[in-house]
């Protein structure tokens, strides 16, 4: 049973992020919700590579002939974190600009482009 | 060391080099920066054409990044390919040619269009990163690498859509596109992770060879189809597209059109080559067809009532994507039924793929023409325009060609691809063709409105100072006009050399998998 | 932001450069430890944010020379591209400096680290990320005051 | 000369269309030339007939604005457009909502 616990946590985190996007009115909280979703996906990727009792997948540190955890999901997670950093930085800068130009952060008021 | 084998890597290395060199070159003044912008995008187009010729002659081009030799896909008896493999078959080569022509035309256009703005060094590097992301999406054979290229293209397009950071609408459009695209990418990543978790392979060909259609694969397929359909602007998820295309600088809108085609390519690559024959049931093909129909009809009904020129063209791109989804959806529907495929499925796919080429060309031309009007008059609202044909003859001529091509008037290339789609889709169900025809009529109606109000009509005193746009922009539009006229005058050549090999490559899933898994040596 | 008290500023003076040293050790040992270019670069970038918090905006913007971070960014990017390009007779990112396992085992760790270009690419990425993240911190800080005091000339192009 | 495209149900030939276009335009130009030959460029015959009133010199007053084009179409489809434009609210979270709803709809129906 313990084996599937991380995937339940991923489901809960993802739902929390998704619900927060729709319930929140403030743009910065929506950006936080999006980073919650991306951390949920990172946890999902890392949990994929886990082998029970595996050690760190670096020969230099772990020595020879031991059961190792899969390294590829860790590389995928690292890249996903790098991408999430870049998108969050750009998203927050855009939110800063929107606050400068619209004077508000309420997502319902930022709708000059409609129809 | 034959350079022909290294073309897939060169195709990505050249824009990457352009993006990294841009900050340095911009220190040495404007002309050197324009030379970099035009030169690098021209070289990318050359490499793309060479790669297309190679693939046409030599079959699927496989390139292993960082391997001993470029085609060592399964080193020393490994069961699965371990490195990132670029797999260029006829369909991706066709898409690379369309994308690089659009990128070259946009670069030519942006040299004059952006000269009055500051921060053009960042614009050039973002432009090349967007081209890199688009071309990478089209040739990569690795599924997680496809996600990385989607992200490169998305981040570059957020920055470019919100490039005029003091215009509130541009920043709002960039923000909304960023919100929906970021949620979509995370859902796509879950699909990529679950496919990796079950098959322990990231390479599309490797996953395709081992894939059985279970519950987890169904969910992964739905997440991928949903995200990629959102990125290319199909109906229920299209609302970011008219905002983003209208508010971006016009050279960038021309490239964004090709970037949305890259996600359409990804959608078709996953449906045809990854899932292919074991795409259980016909729910996904019918879903793609219904999304195509909805995008067509609601896109064009929204476009007819617009009175702002770039938003109108943006809504038209939503409806034109509907045609491609319809054509390729019908191809997907009859993938397993050989008689249906021979009778009308293959023609529908040929129509859909030919429409991708035509759409990228004339839609880019429309955005550039709208940008030229905006550059010359400074206005975007159709109510304030009138009688521009007197002062801007070249732009008017190119706009007429593009408008005739998009509404499918007989001699032009839009008509040929729509004809292929009408006749083949009719065999599936007449209602599909009725909606397609109705959309084409409404497209013609809205472009007659745009042409009459913007170009014809009496001379307005406020536009006496208007002059024809500088030559860089005219050359940019000229490249796309040449492509439209080429496909118009030589439809059979274009079909047999560009479109047919692409359709055959897309249908032939075994060939795609064999190129990588079949030892590759 | 106003500069903080003298206690914080002296603490920051003492501590700041050790951050950079710690970050660069993670970068340099990137290929044999779980660290690497990105994580090391991120730590080096915290040097600038620590200064920004301790000394406030005006003093930092007067002190810092953005050209250095631009130079690091572009140098790291071009070094990464060049290392990829040098592998060309074989393939784009070929690891042409790698020492085969048995030779490295026999002679112990020579001057060139056994992982070849991966280590050099790590250092290039570390430099690039350090420059890039510092630029992000600086431009986001400038963005806070974008329209207020700094005279923001309207983009002259589109409202002609 | 330019080759024909066979679409499985019919064919499309560019040369045939160009030949037809040349004949048709020749015919129309000939018909146009049959008009009255007392028409001279640049005289008062070129004046716009604005139902008798003096024509204003600035073209802005007499040009038809774009938003009034197809007003009948817009008026006839009023209920349809009220729903359609109502759907395009332009709020950021609505766009994400439509996307998540579509993915959920597809997930439900594919698992059925």
Structure confidence at residue B521 (pLDDT): 42
Q: Are C144 and C89 in contact (CB under 8 A)?
A: no
CB atoms inside a 10 Å sphere around CB B110: 29
Instruction: Report the mean per-residue pLDDT for chain D.
Output: 86
- pLDDT score recorded for residue B459: 81
The residue of chain B with its CA nearest to that of C89 is B1
CB contact at 8 A, A76 and B148? no
d(C-alpha D56, C-alpha B291), whole Å: 50
The alpha carbon of residue C15 and the mean position of all alpha carbons in its chain are separated, in whole angstroms, by 18
For residue C146, give the DSSP letter.
T
ipTM for the predicted complex comes to 0.93
Distance from CA of A37 to the nearest CA of D (A): 13
Q: Look at residue C113 and tell me whether its pLDDT is greater than 70.
A: no
Strands (E) across B338-445 are located at none
C-alpha distance across the termini of chain C, in Å: 36
CA distance C109 to C87: 23
Q: Do chains D and B touch (3 or more CB pairs under 8 A)?
A: yes
A45, A94, A102 member nearest B193 (Cβ): A45
Closest-CA residue of chain A to D84: A115
User: A115 and D85 in contact by Cβ < 8 A?
Assistant: yes
CA–CA dist B39, B19 (Å, integer): 12
DSSP D55: P
Question: What pTM did the predictor assign?
Answer: 0.94
Q: Read off the tokens for D12.
A: 């499309």
Q: What is the pLDDT of residue C119?
A: 86
Q: Classify A39 as helix, strand or coil.
A: helix
CB B179 to CB D60 under 8 A? Answer: no
Calculate the CA B160 to chain-centre distance.
Answer: 17
In a domain, A47, yes or no: yes
Can chain A be said to touch chain C, i.e. do they have 3 or more Cβ pairs within 8 angstroms?
A: yes
Chain B CA closest to residue C75:
B20
Residue D107 at interface with chain A, using a CB cutoff of 8 Å: no
CB B480, CB B105: distance < 8 Å: yes
Q: With 0-12 CB in 10 A as exposed, 13-18 as middle and 19+ as buried, what is C143?
A: middle
Strand locations in B24-99 (E): 61-64, 85-88
Catalogue the E-assigned strands of B320-418. none
CA separation, residue B286 to residues B184, B218, B223, B429, D101 (Å): 22, 15, 16, 12, 18
User: Which pLDDT value is given to residue B69?
Assistant: 79
- Contact: B183, A37; criterion CB under 8 Å: yes
CB contact under 8 A, D92 and A112: no
| Exposure letters C21-57 (e unless 16+ CB within 10 A, then b) | eebbebbbbbbbbebbbbbbbbbbbbbbbbbbebbeb
Q: Kindly determine whether residue D110 and residue B490, on different chains, have CB atoms separated by under 8 Å.
A: no
**Nearest residue to B362 via CA among B408, B309, B318, B307:** B408
- Inter-chain touch A100–C147, beta carbons under 8 Å: yes
Q: Does C150 touch chain A (CB under 8 A)?
A: no
pLDDT at C153: 53
Report the C-alpha gap between B421 and B439 in whole angstroms: 13
Residues of A in contact with D98 (CB under 8 A): none
Question: How distant, in Å, are the alpha carbons of A18, B117, B408, C57 from that of B445?
Answer: 41, 36, 12, 57
Position B143 scores a pLDDT of 92
The pLDDT of residue A60 is 67
For D37, residues 6+ apart whose C-beta sits below 8 A from its C-beta are: none
Tens-digit pLDDT string for chain B (521 aa) = 678 888 999 999 999 999 999 999 988 888 999 999 999 999 999 999 999 999 999 888 888 888 777 777 777 777 888 888 999 999 999 999 999 999 999 999 999 888 878 788 889 999 999 999 999 999 999 999 999 999 999 999 999 999 988 888 999 999 999 999 999 999 999 999 999 999 988 999 999 998 988 899 999 999 999 999 999 999 889 999 999 999 999 999 999 999 999 999 999 999 999 988 888 788 999 999 999 999 999 999 999 988 889 999 999 999 999 999 999 999 999 988 888 888 889 999 999 999 999 999 999 999 999 999 999 988 888 888 888 888 899 999 999 999 999 999 988 989 999 999 999 999 899 999 999 999 999 999 999 999 988 898 888 888 888 888 898 899 999 999 999 999 999 999 999 999 999 999 999 889 898 888 875 44
Q: What is the CA radius of gyration of chain B?
A: 22
* Total tally of structural domains belonging to chain C: 1
Kind plus residue range of the DSSP H or E element containing C21 = helix C6-28
Residues 6+ apart with CB under 8 A from A110: A27, A98, A102, A104, B172, B175, D91, D92
Please report the pLDDT score of residue C156 as a whole number: 44
Task: Say how far apart CA B425 and CA B290 lie, in whole Å.
Answer: 13
Is B267 exposed, middle or buried, given 0-12, 13-18 or 19+ CB atoms closer than 10 A?
buried
| Chains D and C touching, counted as 3 or more CB pairs less than 8 Å apart | no
- CB distance B332 to B284 below 8 Å: yes
- Please enumerate residues of B whose Cβ is less than 8 A from a Cβ of A: 144, 148, 151, 154-155, 158-159, 162, 165-166, 168-169, 171-176, 178-179, 182-183, 185-186, 189-190, 192-193, 196-197, 202, 242-243, 246-247
| CB–CB contact C143 A78 (8 Å) | no
Among B155, B171, B183, beta carbon nearest to A97: B171
Question: Strands B61-64, D11-13: parallel, antiparallel or unpaired by DSSP?
Answer: unpaired
How much is the average pLDDT of D31-52? 80
Pairing of strands D11-13, B85-88: unpaired
The mean pLDDT value for D27-55 works out to 82
DSSP per-residue codes, B247-293: HS-HHHHHHHHHHHHHHHHHHHHIIIIIIGGG--SSHHHHHHHHHHH
- pLDDT value for C159: 36
Buried b (16+ CB within 10 A) or exposed e, C82-100: ebbeebbebbbbbbebbbe
Domain residues of chain D, as ranges? Answer: 4-111
Task: Tell whether C130 is covered by a domain.
Answer: yes
CA distance C25 to C38: 12
pLDDT of residue A69: 85
A109 is a domain residue: no
pLDDT value at position C112?
58
Instruction: Map tokens 């250095």 to a residue.
Output: C68
d(CA B125, CA B128): 5
Report the DSSP beta bridge partners of residue B85: B64
- Residue C146 confidence (pLDDT): 67
| A47–chain D nearest CA distance, Å | 23
Question: Which residue does chain C place closest to B22, by CA atoms?
Answer: C74
Please say if the pLDDT value at position C160 is more than 60: no
Does C92 lie at the interface with B, CB-CB under 8 angstroms?
yes
């Amino acid at each position: 049973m313990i084996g599937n616990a991380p995937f339940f946590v991923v489901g809960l985190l993802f739902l929390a992020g998704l619900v927060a996007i729709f319930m929140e009115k403030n743009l910065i909280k929506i950006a936080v919700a999006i980073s919650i979703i991306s951390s949920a996906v990172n946890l999902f990727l890392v949990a994929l590579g886990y082998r029970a009792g595996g050690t760190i997948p670096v020969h230099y540190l772990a020595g020879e002939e031991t059961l190792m955890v899969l390294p590829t999901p860790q590389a995928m997670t690292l890249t996903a974190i790098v991408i999430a950093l870049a998108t969050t930085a750009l998203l927050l800068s855009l939110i800063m600009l929107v606050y400068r130009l619209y004077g508000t952060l309420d997502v319902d008021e930022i709708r000059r482009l409609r129809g | 060391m034959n350079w022909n084998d290294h073309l897939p890597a060169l195709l990505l290395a050249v824009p990457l080099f352009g993006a990294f060199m841009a900050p340095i070159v911009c220190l040495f003044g404007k002309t050197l920066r324009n030379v970099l912008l035009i030169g690098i995008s021209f070289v990318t187009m050359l490499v793309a054409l060479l790669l297309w010729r190679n693939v046409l002659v030599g079959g699927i081009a496989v390139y292993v990044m960082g391997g001993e030799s470029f085609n060592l896909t399964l080193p020393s008896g490994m069961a699965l390919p371990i490195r990132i493999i670029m797999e260029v078959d006829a369909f991706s080569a066709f898409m690379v040619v369309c994308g690089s022509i659009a990128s070259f035309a946009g670069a030519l256009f942006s040299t004059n269009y952006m000269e009055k703005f500051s921060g053009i060094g960042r614009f050039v590097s973002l432009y090349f990163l967007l081209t890199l992301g688009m071309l990478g999406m089209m040739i990569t054979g690795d599924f997680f690498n496809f996600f990385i290229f989607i992200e490169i293209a998305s981040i570059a397009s957020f920055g470019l859509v919100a490039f005029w950071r003091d215009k509130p609408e541009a920043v709002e459009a960039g923000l909304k596109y960023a919100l929906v695209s970021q949620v979509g990418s995370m859902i796509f990543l879950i699909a990529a992770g679950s496919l990796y978790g079950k098959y322990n392979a990231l390479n599309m060909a490797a996953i395709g060879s081992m894939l059985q259609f279970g519950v987890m694969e169904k969910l992964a397929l739905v997440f991928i189809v949903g995200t990629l359909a959102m990125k290319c602007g199909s109906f229920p998820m299209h609302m970011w597209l008219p905002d983003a295309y209208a508010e971006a600088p016009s050279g960038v809108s021309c490239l964004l059109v090709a970037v949305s085609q890259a996600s359409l390519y990804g959608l078709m690559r996953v449906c045809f080559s990854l899932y292919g024959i074991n795409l259980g049931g016909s729910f996904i093909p019918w879903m793609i067809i219904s999304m195509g129909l909805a995008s067509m009809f609601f896109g064009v009904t929204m476009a007819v009532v617009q009175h702002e020129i770039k938003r109108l063209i943006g809504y038209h791109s939503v409806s034109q994507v509907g045609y491609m989804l319809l054509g390729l959806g019908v191809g997907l529907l009859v993938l397993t039924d050989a008689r249906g495929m021979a009778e009308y499925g293959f023609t529908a796919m040929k129509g859909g793929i030919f429409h991708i080429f035509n759409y990228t060309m004339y839609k880019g031309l429309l955005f550039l023409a709208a940008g030229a009007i905006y550059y010359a008059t400074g206005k975007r609202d159709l109510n304030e325009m009138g009688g521009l044909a007197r002062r801007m003859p070249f732009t008017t001529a190119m706009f007429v060609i593009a408008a005739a091509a998009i509404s499918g008037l007989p001699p032009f290339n839009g008509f040929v691809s729509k004809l292929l789609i009408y006749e083949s889709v009719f065999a599936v169900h007449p209602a599909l063709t009725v909606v397609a025809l109705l959309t084409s009529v409404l497209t013609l109606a809205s472009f007659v409105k745009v042409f009459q109000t913007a170009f014809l009509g009496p001379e307005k005193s406020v536009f006496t100072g208007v002059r024809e746009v500088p030559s860089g922009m005219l050359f940019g539009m000229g490249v796309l006009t040449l492509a439209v006229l080429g496909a118009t005058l030589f439809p059979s050549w274009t079909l047999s050399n560009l479109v047919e090999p692409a359709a055959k490559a897309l249908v032939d899933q075994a060939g795609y998998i064999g190129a990588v898994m079949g030892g590759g040596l | 932001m106003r500069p903080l008290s003298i206690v914080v500023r002296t603490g920051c003076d003492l501590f700041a450069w050790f951050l950079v040293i710690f970050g660069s050790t993670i970068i340099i040992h990137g290929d044999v430890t779980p660290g690497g270019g990105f994580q090391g670069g991120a730590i080096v970038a915290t040097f600038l944010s620590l200064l920004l918090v301790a000394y406030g905006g005006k003093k930092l913007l007067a002190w810092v020379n953005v050209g250095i971070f631009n130079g690091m960014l572009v140098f790291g990017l071009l070094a990464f591209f060049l290392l990829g390009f040098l592998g060309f007779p074989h393939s784009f990112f070929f690891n042409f400096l790698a020492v085969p396992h048995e030779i490295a085992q026999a002679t112990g760790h020579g001057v060139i680290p056994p992982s070849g270009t991966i280590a050099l690419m790590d250092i290039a990425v570390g430099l690039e990320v350090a420059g890039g993240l510092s630029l992000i911190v600086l431009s986001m800080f400038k963005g806070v005051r974008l329209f207020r005091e700094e005279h923001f000339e309207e983009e002259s192009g589109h409202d002609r | 000369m330019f080759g024909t495209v066979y679409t499985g149900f019919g064919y499309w030939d560019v040369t045939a269309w160009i030949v037809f276009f040349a004949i048709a335009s020749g015919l129309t130009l000939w018909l146009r030339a049959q008009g009255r030959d007392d028409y001279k460029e640049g005289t008062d015959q070129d004046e716009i007939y604005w139902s008798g009133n003096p024509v204003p010199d600035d073209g802005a007053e007499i040009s038809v604005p774009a938003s009034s084009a197809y007003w009948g179409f817009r008026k006839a489809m009023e209920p349809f457009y009220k729903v359609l434009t109502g759907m395009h609210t332009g709020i950021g979270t609505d766009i994400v909502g439509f996307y998540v709803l579509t993915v959920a709809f597809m997930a439900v129906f594919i698992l059925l």
